[in-house]
Structure 1
């Protein structure tokens, strides 16, 4: 599934946050269902200065 995700960090953030908001209660649930490596995703987001906030269930 990672190949279908946006490459641009801001577009990726928007895509992931929409999925988290509409379909998944946690980042782990999204990663499991979409077959995404959570550590790779968090590293890519961190490169853009973004981090996952579990309480808000989104990257910012």
Structure 2
């Protein structure tokens, strides 16, 4: 699966998937076969980190 390259669009895409389809970030990464570090690096670059309490990047 190809993820959006733009970090802001990626943020929206990932948070939507987390909200609608996955109980955790770990489950999302496993399901999509994508290393968690790949997403985290892009989103950390624009100031967002995963919050397990809300199951979203904030």
Same fold (TM over 0.5): yes
Q: 4+ residue runs of structure 1 moved beyond 6 angstroms? A: none
- Structure 2 unaligned residues grouped into runs of 5+: none
Question: What is the TM-score when the length of structure 1 is the normalising length?
Answer: 0.91
- Measure the CA separation in 1 of the matches of 2:13 and 2:19: 10
For these two proteins, the number of residue pairs brought into alignment is: 58
- Structure 1 unaligned residues grouped into runs of 5+: none
Q: What does residue 59 of structure 1 align with?
A: 57
- Measure the CA separation in 1 of the matches of 2:31 and 2:10: 17
